[in-house]
Chain A
């Protein structure tokens, strides 16, 4: 039985359809979730997709973080369910305090949209076990508010605990501290990153298929769990 991966659609989500398609293309069973849902029963993992949920009003992710479905996602994440936040999803995870720090407007003051080189820093997460440490991958990066910031203590803890999962290579595109592109929680089941793995799974639409390993990683994890 293929694993069921839920993708939450908030008002203003953009990449929910691509995420659902990527799950299907990589061999999983995509499940559409709605921001107003009051449960995430029946899915094995959840993806919070990219976009501009609630129009980015107030702060990116600030209002989505209190959507009814998020109460359930937070509960499930704390119980160990794999959760992946991509771009706006990463911002939501930070606002929900499932991940530390915050994402602010790019220091370059423009919306960045490019194929971004990344270095894989940790494979001890539910979503990255199929990579190798030090591997260079390329994923689509497209955001206006992707600058990762956190206080010194938090950065030290993230670095010390091996929770910086991806780092920008060949130039920092947005002013992120420590060139951070993605981080995970202590347990490694919650991962947030600014680049978009769901856009890099098909040779037709992306220069690499490096996004596929995110999906195979979580499928392997879920298969081993059963």
Chain B
């Protein structure tokens, strides 16, 4: 399984009333000095590998439907999934703009998976699910 993420944002020159409302709400809650612009995130999942053809197809889909390029910009990127974390990590490392947070998340997922596997062997699933979550949080 492979995952491609499409991020859609209102263009900088386009007013973002939703972002403004969120900015105002944050300020009222005491989160000062934060200016928010609100966009959308689409997760597209595929069987098999993410090929260049696949990415081109996603870009076409983004241009056709996911974003209105009159008012929005979009960004397409491959995101590691638990199963493909190793393979995709390599691919991502070769790209500029490698996202540390995403890598951390992948590590967490790996930890969670291995923990879950261990627990199966123990035969104490209920408890181990909790443990796995704790481990993921700690990670």
Contacts and interface: CB of A to CB of B under 8 A. Distances in A.
Contacts of B21: 109
Interface string B121-138: 000000000000000000
B54 to A, nearest CB: 22
Contacts of B68: 59, 62, 95, 102
B30 to A, nearest CB: 21
B65 A62 contact: yes
A131 B128 CA distance: 74
A173 to B, nearest CB: 14
B18 interface: yes
Interface residues on A, range: 20 to 34
A89 interface: no
B14 interface: yes
A55 interface: no
B17 interface: yes
B35 to A, nearest CB: 16
What does DSSP make chain A's interface, helix, strand, loop or mixed? Answer: loop
A104 B20 contact: no
Interface in A66-117: 66, 94-95, 100-102, 104-107, 109
A223 interface: no
A62 B15 CA distance: 19
A58 B68 CA distance: 10
A104 B14 contact: yes
Contact of B17 (A100, A102, A106): A106
Contacts of B65: 58, 62-63, 66
Interface in B17-33: 17-18, 20-21
A62 B21 CA distance: 23
Interface string A47-65: 0000000000011001100
Interface of B: 10, 14-15, 17-18, 20-21, 65-66, 68, 70-71
